[in-house]
Chains A and B, each alone.
Chain A
């Protein structure tokens, strides 16, 4: 059932074959909207494939902050038939998707290639506007203008730009902003391409305006907003990459894996000017061990991976913990699992894995930021924690955050300070009496930096004595276990509550939503709509997963009247953690595990149906 046009935002989708350049076009479009003063959220969905399969970029723009997508589409731009109707005809069994026409809101529009010669009846909708545009012809017209007539075949990828131009022409928007965005994208040697693209936009917009008198009921930019050329459009991998450079990262190791690779590639580009090295390793085992080697030498080290890679890092993770390495910080970008799973899709199913990444009992920290600002802060602080508590840290993130673009007016870095923890200052070159793993009350033994006279230490993945030598002694084992685990209590005491959890909304409410990670965006966006049902709503977002803020969370949950857990996984992993840590079982679970992120509507409908049908568990999946 198609929904009504939302009154708040404008939802635009560009669909086409993977490798057809839709990313670049959609991002230029998003940037133009952002510079126009709108808040923008943009999310890409694509198959694990290099060229040809269906991908689409969804841009949601609003005059108020927006952090999630909505189900309905106001303007669909389709570069191929599959984007309209799906791939059922080509597939024997389950179709991958059913296209996007059914998602177009009443009164919304569909721009598509007139050359596809689609019978309007095939759309099965008389409540939407169809805008067939002869992409090729318009492109030919534009190329003629810039002296490249007759070369449309060569520049066929510019159909994307024609689509953008048509979009602007129909929905109404300041063309100049789009031109700026294009020129900004094609700079220097590519300047000629910029002018070709500008011409294509101009021609397409003019064509659309001249041909189509019926316009959607709702146009872009319904309210005047102030132009914001300084507003960032930032993706999660960029926020994390910049945070790492700010934190003094010296070495990033990695093995290519979706969706983590973008972050390492970004660091490879930007790192050198910040004295940061990036090493592409032969596998994830080498990646974590190389990072551990660097961390023990006193360099801030990190590695970035996804679930399958983290599985290989288990062994090294325990090694870092028992040798009390000051790191590494492991950035775990979650995708659909298990095994190779859904390589290019999102999921929140590695929480329990991140909490138990290796055999034995050992301390480590797990933090799960929920948005751009938090991923910046948490990434930065993780390096301080690794140094202070001399243990590996996991920053748990999602593909959704990695590849989605969010409007951001600047990240507050004023409170961020580098803290390298306790470093032993030797009194003499012989270093007599220095013990790398000295037993202390808070569990922290001062470390030294190899190369330093008087700081010589040995350490081992075997159980060891305070000097780092192998022993299987009983008393030593007990003392060492207690010492290492005490660091976790120290961390729990010292890490501020603001890094542990946030209660959004009123302290007391009729309904408390509970979630973690980047589902935060959709939940925050959905809260006001849920309040329309006549209930006050608050949202407990948990960020620090280990050491878990059990007392504070228990206090909030005991005080809650009705609790609804929302997670992007099958087994309600945070729910299990909360039960384990507090003994509290949450009333309802709203879960999604189709590999896609929550839309705002899914949150609203999931919560509503859990309550109205009195169901313990509700699964949502709005294809």
Chain B
């Protein structure tokens, strides 16, 4: 647990992370599990609600900040990450959590997904991944596998589905995980780890869309047809170790990324969840503070604006 929580005089109740806003997701939507997991994770970490900024994109998932009683910016389709980056760099004492759907993050926001990975600002990105565009009536999203045809699609998809974990490994995310929306207990633990990670943490979450995705239903994930769950927990294997111990070792990085990559390509009857990869590297905010020394002691937003003496700059031009 972070120090701030230990020193907090007041204990925040779980209820304090919830708003009274009516949740208008469809009954049975996987989003409820993710919402609840984020609220419980913030509660477990005892981060004061006013120290949290929830940033979302557009789509069903975009409504999440309205339901969590913290500072919230519900932004544009695909742009949650740049807004979140600006927010964190402005005030590095905030816990910044960006949320979005798979269309939002891997489609229109793909450029920001890649570049946020290489930037490594200390924040968390959670993607609600259900394979379809819900709010526009069920078109194929970037993660829908080639050849799939949900009930809302007139024809099967002829585009390959993207592998978000593999993409994140290439982009340079320093913490990569995957959860399942209907396994809240496990998801809370992953959200806690993601938020606690220093650097950009990326958590892909298998989520069900009961209205439009009739392929990946909760029954399918539960494996009712094969008699066992399709969700495989990586840490069920005692030998699974996704953490890079020596960030200077290319060999170790390649080895760990290789294992994570292999796990990310598991399909069919076994879908890996858990922590895929973790490494501790300097964050963008730390590096910025090396350039702008005043940031070492104070967040940008607290630095004084007034009485800046620009005369020396004019003098250089004489």
Residues of chain A touching chain B, judged by Cβ–Cβ distance below 8 Å, are 229-234, 238, 242, 245-248, 250-251, 253, 270-272, 274-277, 279, 281-283, 285-287, 289-301, 315-316, 319, 323, 410-411, 413, 418, 420, 429, 449-462, 468-470
Chain A neighbourhood of B288, CB < 8 A: 277, 279
**Contact between chains at B292 and A277 (CB < 8 Å):** yes
A360 → chain B closest CB, angstroms: 13
Does B101 lie at the interface of the complex (its beta carbon under 8 Å from any beta carbon of A)?
Answer: no
Does B91 lie at the interface of the complex (its beta carbon under 8 Å from any beta carbon of A)?
Answer: yes
C-alpha spacing A102/B102, complex, angstroms:
63
Chain B neighbourhood of A276, CB < 8 A: 292
Does B66 lie at the interface of the complex (its beta carbon under 8 Å from any beta carbon of A)?
Answer: yes
B302-316 CB contacts (< 8 Å) to partner A: 303-306, 308, 310, 313-314
Does B256 lie at the interface of the complex (its beta carbon under 8 Å from any beta carbon of A)?
Answer: no
**Contact between chains at A275 and B303 (CB < 8 Å):** yes
Does B250 lie at the interface of the complex (its beta carbon under 8 Å from any beta carbon of A)?
Answer: no
**Contact between chains at A450 and B53 (CB < 8 Å):** yes
Chain B neighbourhood of A282, CB < 8 A: 111-112, 114-115
C-alpha spacing A253/B75, complex, angstroms:
18
With known contacts A272-B293, A411-B314, A451-B91, A246–B308 Cβ distance under 8 A: yes
C-alpha spacing A449/B83, complex, angstroms:
16
Does B176 lie at the interface of the complex (its beta carbon under 8 Å from any beta carbon of A)?
Answer: no
In the assembled complex, 23 residue pairs joining A and B whose CB atoms fall closer than 8 Å, in A order, are A245-B308, A250-B305, A272-B293, A274-B310, A279-B85, A286-B112, A286-B115, A287-B82, A289-B76, A290-B85, A293-B73, A293-B84, A297-B91, A299-B301, A429-B50, A450-B87, A456-B69, A456-B70, A456-B71, A460-B73, A461-B75, A468-B72, A470-B74
C-alpha spacing A293/B74, complex, angstroms:
11
C-alpha spacing A274/B308, complex, angstroms:
7
**Contact between chains at A294 and B89 (CB < 8 Å):** yes
Does B238 lie at the interface of the complex (its beta carbon under 8 Å from any beta carbon of A)?
Answer: no
**Contact between chains at B292 and A231 (CB < 8 Å):** no
C-alpha spacing A28/B80, complex, angstroms:
47
Chain B neighbourhood of A301, CB < 8 A: 86, 90
Does B300 lie at the interface of the complex (its beta carbon under 8 Å from any beta carbon of A)?
Answer: yes
**Contact between chains at A293 and B82 (CB < 8 Å):** yes
9 additional contacts (CB under 8 A) given A274-B310, A291-B86, A316-B79: A272-B291, A282-B112, A282-B115, A286-B85, A287-B82, A293-B87, A297-B90, A298-B91, A451-B299
**Contact between chains at A289 and B90 (CB < 8 Å):** no
With known contacts A283-B111, A289-B76, A229–B318 Cβ distance under 8 A: yes
C-alpha spacing A456/B299, complex, angstroms:
19
Does B21 lie at the interface of the complex (its beta carbon under 8 Å from any beta carbon of A)?
Answer: yes
Chain A neighbourhood of B313, CB < 8 A: 238, 242, 245, 270
B36-79 CB contacts (< 8 Å) to partner A: 48-51, 53, 55, 58, 63, 65-66, 69-76, 79
B265-318 CB contacts (< 8 Å) to partner A: 288, 291-295, 299-301, 303-306, 308, 310, 313-314, 317-318
**Contact between chains at B82 and A281 (CB < 8 Å):** yes
**Contact between chains at B82 and A300 (CB < 8 Å):** no
A106 → chain B closest CB, angstroms: 36
Chain A neighbourhood of B301, CB < 8 A: 250, 297-299, 449, 451
**Contact between chains at B82 and A297 (CB < 8 Å):** no
Chain B neighbourhood of A461, CB < 8 A: 58, 74-76
**Contact between chains at A275 and B75 (CB < 8 Å):** no
Chain B neighbourhood of A272, CB < 8 A: 291-293
Number of contacting residues on B, CB 8 A?
56
Q: Which of B53, B87, B303, B310 counts the most chain A CB atoms within 10 A?
A: B310
**Contact between chains at B73 and A323 (CB < 8 Å):** yes
With known contacts A245-B313, A272-B291, A459-B73, A299–B300 Cβ distance under 8 A: yes
Does B15 lie at the interface of the complex (its beta carbon under 8 Å from any beta carbon of A)?
Answer: no
Does B94 lie at the interface of the complex (its beta carbon under 8 Å from any beta carbon of A)?
Answer: yes
C-alpha spacing A420/B306, complex, angstroms:
11
Does B93 lie at the interface of the complex (its beta carbon under 8 Å from any beta carbon of A)?
Answer: yes
- Across the two chains, which residue of chain B brings its CB closest to A238? B317
B43 → chain A closest CB, angstroms: 16
C-alpha spacing A461/B169, complex, angstroms:
31
**Contact between chains at B86 and A242 (CB < 8 Å):** no
**Contact between chains at A248 and B306 (CB < 8 Å):** yes
Chain B neighbourhood of A299, CB < 8 A: 90-91, 300-301
Chain A neighbourhood of B58, CB < 8 A: 461
Chain A neighbourhood of B82, CB < 8 A: 281, 285-287, 289-290, 293
A144 → chain B closest CB, angstroms: 34
With known contacts A251-B90, A293-B83, A461-B75, A456–B112 Cβ distance under 8 A: no
Chain B neighbourhood of A277, CB < 8 A: 89, 288, 291-292, 295, 300
**Contact between chains at A450 and B71 (CB < 8 Å):** yes
Which among B63, B71, B91, B305 is the interface contact of A418 at CB below 8 angstroms?
B305
A400 → chain B closest CB, angstroms: 19
B197-245 CB contacts (< 8 Å) to partner A: none
- Across the two chains, which residue of chain B brings its CB closest to A35? B318
**Contact between chains at B91 and A410 (CB < 8 Å):** no
Which among B19, B63, B86, B310 is the interface contact of A470 at CB below 8 angstroms?
B63
Which among B66, B75, B87, B314 is the interface contact of A297 at CB below 8 angstroms?
B87
Chain B neighbourhood of A296, CB < 8 A: 73, 83, 87
Chain B neighbourhood of A420, CB < 8 A: 305
Which among A294, A298, A458 is the interface contact of B72 at CB below 8 angstroms?
A458
C-alpha spacing A455/B69, complex, angstroms:
11
Which among B50, B70, B314 is the interface contact of A410 at CB below 8 angstroms?
B314
C-alpha spacing A453/B49, complex, angstroms:
8
Q: Which of A230, A233, A275, A295 counts the most chain B CB atoms within 10 A?
A: A275
A566 → chain B closest CB, angstroms: 29
Which among B65, B86, B114, B308 is the interface contact of A289 at CB below 8 angstroms?
B86
**Contact between chains at A248 and B305 (CB < 8 Å):** yes
Q: Which of A251, A277, A468 counts the most chain B CB atoms within 10 A?
A: A277
C-alpha spacing A231/B314, complex, angstroms:
10
**Contact between chains at B83 and A459 (CB < 8 Å):** no
B96 → chain A closest CB, angstroms: 9
A600 → chain B closest CB, angstroms: 25
C-alpha spacing A242/B309, complex, angstroms:
10
Chain A neighbourhood of B21, CB < 8 A: 469
Q: Which 10 A-B pairs give the minimum distances between C-beta atoms? A: A248-B305, A293-B86, A460-B74, A297-B90, A290-B86, A293-B83, A289-B82, A458-B72, A294-B86, A294-B90
**Contact between chains at B308 and A251 (CB < 8 Å):** no
**Contact between chains at B303 and A250 (CB < 8 Å):** yes
Chain B neighbourhood of A295, CB < 8 A: 86
Chain A neighbourhood of B303, CB < 8 A: 250, 275
Chain A neighbourhood of B94, CB < 8 A: 297, 450-451
C-alpha spacing A461/B86, complex, angstroms:
17
Q: Which of A232, A245, A246, A461 counts the most chain B CB atoms within 10 A?
A: A461
Which among B70, B74, B79, B299 is the interface contact of A285 at CB below 8 angstroms?
B79
Which among A233, A275, A293, A429 is the interface contact of B90 at CB below 8 angstroms?
A293
C-alpha spacing A251/B293, complex, angstroms:
15
- Across the two chains, which residue of chain A brings its CB closest to B71? A450
- Across the two chains, which residue of chain A brings its CB closest to B72? A458
- Across the two chains, which residue of chain B brings its CB closest to A430? B16
B129 → chain A closest CB, angstroms: 22
**Contact between chains at A460 and B79 (CB < 8 Å):** no
- Across the two chains, which residue of chain A brings its CB closest to B115? A282
A582 → chain B closest CB, angstroms: 36
Chain B neighbourhood of A274, CB < 8 A: 308, 310
- Across the two chains, which residue of chain B brings its CB closest to A426? B50
Chain A neighbourhood of B19, CB < 8 A: 458
With known contacts A277-B300, A469-B21, A451–B308 Cβ distance under 8 A: no
Chain B neighbourhood of A283, CB < 8 A: 111
B147 → chain A closest CB, angstroms: 32
**Contact between chains at A292 and B83 (CB < 8 Å):** yes
Chain A neighbourhood of B81, CB < 8 A: 286
Chain A neighbourhood of B293, CB < 8 A: 272
Which among A233, A238, A293, A457 is the interface contact of B55 at CB below 8 angstroms?
A293
C-alpha spacing A289/B87, complex, angstroms:
10
